[in-house]
Amino acid sequence: MPPYTLLDLIFPSRCAICDASGENLCDSCRNLIWLEPQEFLLSGLAVLTVSKYSDEISKLLVALKDKGQSALISELVTMLEPILEKIPSSESSVFLVPAPSRQANFAKRGFHPMLLLAQAISKRTPRFRVLNALSFSREVQDQVGLTADERIANLSMSMRLNQNVAGKICYLLDDVVTTGATALEAARVLRIGGASVAGVLALSYSKG
């Protein structure tokens, strides 16, 4: 068990899944997360994920994004390692492009979860570089609760580039792939900017 700091004693951490005090993710709950790397095509775009969406994954992401348990980022990087290792080593300069965050979410949280994740991956494996190149060009709704058609309409033509991506090998980094609306819109914009979109890296998927 890791040593506790004074901050831990004042604001003790709790397991993101079972809510037990002690660690941000206890060993018992870590063992509940079934890692099964998958690769599939989404309208020709390669999607690599490590787990099917589950209650455990949902609680993990809620704890990170809505409860501010940023220490979970390290756990997510470790979970993503099986698919990161699949990226050819010949691609010496690979750019991780975080899926953009809605302004309302950023204002509420004060941070961009996928950007933090991309930065943590890059710190652990420097050949992965961070390219925070996407932002929303208009207001979009929260995707939760929307049907597949509504998700596609919600994100259609919604993104823009905020920096040069021409000639760069890019992977979109996202937490969950459902309909793929986010991934396809991001890929469209990156390709217009001249990037080579090699695929999508995601923690989980909820397809089929």
Query: Quick one: three-class SS letters along the chain?
Result: CCCCCHHHHHCCCECCCCCCECCCCCHHHHCCCCCCCEEEEECCEEEEEEEECCHHHHHHHHHHHCCCCCCHHHHHHHHHHHHHCCCCCCCCCEEEEECCCCHHHHHHHCCCHHHHHHHHHHHHCCCEEECCCEEECCCCCCCCCCCHHHHHHHHCCCEEECCCCCCCEEEEEEEEECCCHHHHHHHHHHHHCCCEEEEEEEEEECCC
89-93, 191-195, 199-203, range with the lowest pLDDT: 89-93
Q: How far apart are CA 152 and CA 43, in angstroms?
A: 13
Looking at the chain, the whole-number percentage of residues with pLDDT higher than 90 is 67
The structural domains of the chain, with segments of one domain joined by +, span 1-32, 36-205
Q: Among 156, 116, 129, which residue's Cα sits nearest to residue 140?
A: 156
pTM of the model: 0.88
Which residues lie across from 28 on neighbouring strands? none
Mean pLDDT (the chain, rounded): 88
For the segment 42-58, what is each residue's pLDDT rounded down to a tens digit? Answer: 999 999 999 999 999 99
Q: What is the pLDDT of residues 180-189, one digit of tens each?
A: 999 999 999 9
Task: Give the CA radius of gyration of the chain.
Answer: 17
Q: What CATH fold (topology level) applies to the domain 36-205?
A: Rossmann fold (3.40.50)
